[in-house]
Structure 1
Amino acid sequence: MPPTVLTSYAVPPQPPEPAGGSADLPAVRVRSARDLVAAVPHLLGYRPHESLVVVCVTDESVLGLVARVGLDDLAREVVEPPAGRERAVDRLVAAARRVGTTEIVAVVHTARDPRRIRRTVDPALAALELAGDVEPWIVTPEGYRGIDCSDPSCCPPRGRPLAELEHRAVNAALVLAGRAVAPSAEEAYRIVPASEARRSRAARAAARADRARAAVDAAAGALGGRSSGAAGSPPSSPSPMPARTPSSMPSSTRTDAARRASSGYDLWCDLVRHAARELRTAPPGGTDLPPARLGRLAVALAEVPVRDAVLLSTIPGADEVARRTARGAADLPGEAHARTPGDAGPGDAGPGDAGPGDEAFDVEAATARAIARIVDPRVAVRPDPGAVAAARVVLEQVVAHVPRRWHAAPLTLLGLLAWWQGDGGLAAHRLAAARAVDPAYRLAALFGGVLSAAVPPGWVRTREVARGADGGGRGLDAADPSVG
């Protein structure tokens, strides 16, 4: 397995919203390389262990990228260079170049003998020079120092006290900006299970919804001449109706399946609106959604059309294609789809898309246009913070409430949202958890290839082509990173 390079791209601030809308948090100014060394745990969200962390400052003097790779991965590549595939350090260099890097602060976090670590990190540091000027540091349990500093008054052999890093002003500013530090990545990314009583209610609701789904699938399988699989667990390589096509299904069965998927997507939209209200009014961490509805949503997400519609619903302008995707090819006869603003889903109809009553609406073409807004640098958009925050709350609460066998779909969606936001570390963790639940989950396998190649979301490559059009860098301003 190739080593994982966890890349987190800095999202440029959005322009202030009109009429008193919320603007981005004020930038946190970083005045020295030591400030960036101190900021690393806050930027990652956890304290790294046995890692090389690369912090890239762009030609606009803003933070563009934070990337982490394990020292053991680098060491294996030194001993046995990979044949026929890209090295981890090559992916680091490519990622750094995408954001217009000019300065790199490379920080080695290790509890091992620093003299032995040089054999592992020196080739990586030399390669990073291809992307920008590199200033290397090392942080050990005893202290921190510049790797190449030979002045004992500046960097004693055993390093300067770690307390100097902990008490720098940039740390306080990052804490005020909401960047907490967990003791490990596992702790930072952990989804805390709900209480036993809430989990029990959600599990009972999921079981009821699954029995109803199984009854419909069994009837469709009998009428269509094929088996639709066993009840009681989500499909391992999910397809909402794997053995049936609309033309081979009786019209009543198509209608039942379409209504079920449409109902699942409506449930998602209701819970997202609920979460958005809670995020505006509830204290941090105080968002509680109805357990029974979360249980029903978990079963709905096992249906590919519902899962795909949920992903589409987070993309600006893709609400109509999301709804049609949830219904699948089996349209609900006679059903009106016009919406009022109060009934709208998480997204809005995009320009140039056919309206709800347009029979010529091309679902595949509209889906391609929507996905392009995530992956294609020519048309890519940044995720809407409010919409993604509400979606993440719903998906995380599904994971916190329902039995583990239903986790693959919500965890994969959480990984995709994290990747779109530029957080490769969180994306990789969610994807690994999804594949641990179901190694054959196809969307997770496809997404795994994207992460393994360290491919960034489209808005990162948009900045690569037209750097400077958006300005800024996720609330961290490296005013003078070269100052020691």
Structure 2
Amino acid sequence: MDTLTIKTPADVLSFIGHTLGFWPHESLVCITLDSNHIGATLRVDLPKHDGGELAYAQTVAGYLGNDTNATSALFAVYTSAEPTAGHNKPYAAVIAALTGALAERHITIRDGLLVGDQTVSPYDDEPGLGRALPLSMIDTSEINAELVYRGSAVARTGRIVLPASNKEATFDAVETHIESIGRCHDHSAIEKARTLWAGILDARTYPSDDQVIALIANFQFAAIRDQLMADIPAVDGPMEQILLAQTPGKPQWDRVEWAQQILLHAYTHSSTKHSAPLLTAVGYINWWEGRGSKAHQFLELALEADPGYRLAKLSDQLLSYGMLAGWNMDKDTAYRTRGLGTSD
């Protein structure tokens, strides 16, 4: 994939939207930079109350500090609050605290944007200078045009809407298959599941109902589930390192995206009892791709289906600590739009 270059505020906002997959609202978005290459993109809700700016800034800086290659950062404040003459910019105390917290980690802020409902302007502009630009300019951004051409899209919000599920339609068939798998006391069940999964991923057509039922059943077993998840990126390495995105090889991202489609398709055929493993796997995929906000939502949905589902709980804790997928820390292995260049 050719390197794309970010030159304008419209390019920055286009990159953010396509990287997150949605347009942020009342959010702080930060992008780490290593020289002229983009590293991690982080979106967090803006604080709703005054007084916690230092703690908030330290948390954000801690997330960004996980990108050990970062030397500088860009930020964008997305808010409906408007600056007024004689007053500080919205969330000025937050940005001041963040500047200091990042400096402690030897990361400087290169630039910032204030993104309103209709316009975008440099964050450090004085009110009344008239340098605000209409958000409609994003439509003509070279980055936006290229990413749309590559099949990317930006949703209006980040809230996930799951496809309709048949709920209990396959319950009995899946339970029967689970009983059959449970009677295997050697590795044959794992190997059979891997063969099925590999065939589904290689076929590039949606699986039959019988294959979907078998897939749902396989994901109910922790050992099989972990192995099938590790098989998705098609990279070499120990299973634990693959699941934590810590291998040197580049994942086959087209295969990863197809796996997500298959898992969501399987979700539409699963009962509530059987859906948590599928949603957790989709959460992992989004985390691998650097979409932490969506990963968190999928894990929450998994826990709604099964409040005691251990992998979803543990994985959500990892996200809350700011752990970033290692593949996205390297422009040669990162998912899709990451690793773009910037123009001074």
Q: TM-score range by the shorter chain?
A: 0.7 to 0.9
Letter aligned with residue 258 of structure 1: H
Instruction: Say whether 1:308 aligns with 2:278.
Output: no
Residue 86 of structure 2 is matched in structure 1 by none
Give the counterpart letter for 1:65 in structure 2. Answer: A
Do structure 1's residue 208 and structure 2's residue 77 form an aligned pair? no
Which residue of 136, 150, 170 maps to 1:177? 150
Partner of 1:109: 78
1:143–1:161 contact (8 Å) kept in structure 2: yes
Gaps of 5+ in 1: 1-24, 217-239, 242-255, 279-286, 319-349, 351-368
Contact 2:289 2:334 in 1 (8 A): no
Change over 3 Å in CA distance of 1:74–1:173 after alignment to 2: farther
Structure 2 residue aligned with 1:288: 206
Aligned match of 2:41: 66
Cross-structure match for 1:477: 340
Q: TM-score, normalised by structure 1?
A: 0.61
For residue 472 of structure 1, report the CA deviation from its aligned partner.
8.5
Q: Offset of 1:257 from its aligned partner?
A: 2.9
Is residue 2:265 matched to residue 1:402?
Answer: no
Deviation at 1:315, TM superposition (A): 5.8
Structure of greater Rg: 1
Are residues 1:382 and 2:309 paired? no
Measured after TM superposition, the shift of residue 434 of structure 1 is 0.9
**In structure 2, do the counterparts of structure 1 residues 311 and 275 end up closer, same or farther at CA, with 3 Å as the change threshold?**
closer
The Cα of 1:409 is off from its aligned counterpart by: 0.6
Q: In structure 1, which of residues 436, 453, 456 is the aligned counterpart of residue 321 of structure 2?
A: 453
CA separation in 2, counterparts of 1:474 and 1:389?
A: 11
Distance 1:90 1:479 in 2: 21
Q: 1:91 to 1:75 in 2, by over 3 A?
A: farther
What letter is aligned with 1:192?
A: P
Of the three residues 96, 100, 109, the one matched with 2:70 is 100
| Structure-2 separation of matches of 1:478 and 1:317 | 26
| Identical aligned residues as a percent | 20
**Structural mapping, 1:321-360, within 5 Å:** none
Number of the residue aligned with 1:227 = none
Once the 2 structures are TM-superposed, how far is the Cα of residue 413 of structure 1 from its aligned partner?
Answer: 1.5
Q: Shift of the alpha carbon at 1:153?
A: 5.0
Aligned residues: 336
Distance 1:118 1:296 in 2: 54
| Distance 1:303-1:117 versus aligned 2 partners, 3 A rule | same
Q: Could you tell me which residue of structure 1 aligns to residue 240 of structure 2?
A: 371
* Structure 1 position 441, deviation (Å): 0.9
| 1:100 partner amino acid | A
User: Residue 412 of structure 1 contacts residue 430 of structure 1 at CA under 8 Å; is this kept in 2?
Assistant: yes
Structure 2: give runs of 5+ residues left out of the alignment: 84-88
Helix, strand or coil at the partner of 2:260: helix
Shift in alpha-carbon separation, 1:209–1:407, aligned structure 2, 3 A: closer
Inter-partner Cα distance in structure 1 for 2:235 and 2:139: 44
Query: How large is the Cα RMSD of the aligned pairs?
Result: 3.3
Name the SS of the counterpart of 1:36 in structure 2: helix
**1:78 matches 2:53:** yes
Residue by residue, what CA displacement relative to the aligned partner does 1:284-342 show, whole Å, maximum 9, x if unpaired? xxx43223431332233212232122123336477xxxxxxxxxxxxxxxxxxxxxxxx
Change (3 A) 1:37 1:206: same
Aligned equivalents of 2:241, 2:190: Cα separation in 1: 25
Deviation at 1:151, TM superposition (A): 7.9
TM-superposed deviation, 1:139:
0.8
Distance 1:372 1:163 in 2: 43
Report how far residue 429 of structure 1 moved: 1.9
Partner Cα distance (2:178, 2:197) in 1: 21
Alpha carbons of structure 1 residues 423 and 381: separation in structure 2 relative to 1, 3 Å = farther
Query: What is the alpha-carbon distance in structure 1 between the residues aligned to residue 110 and residue 288 of structure 2?
Result: 28
**What amino acid is the match of 1:109?**
Y
1:184 Cα offset (Å): 0.7
> 1:36·1:105 contact (CA, 8 Å) conserved in 2?
no
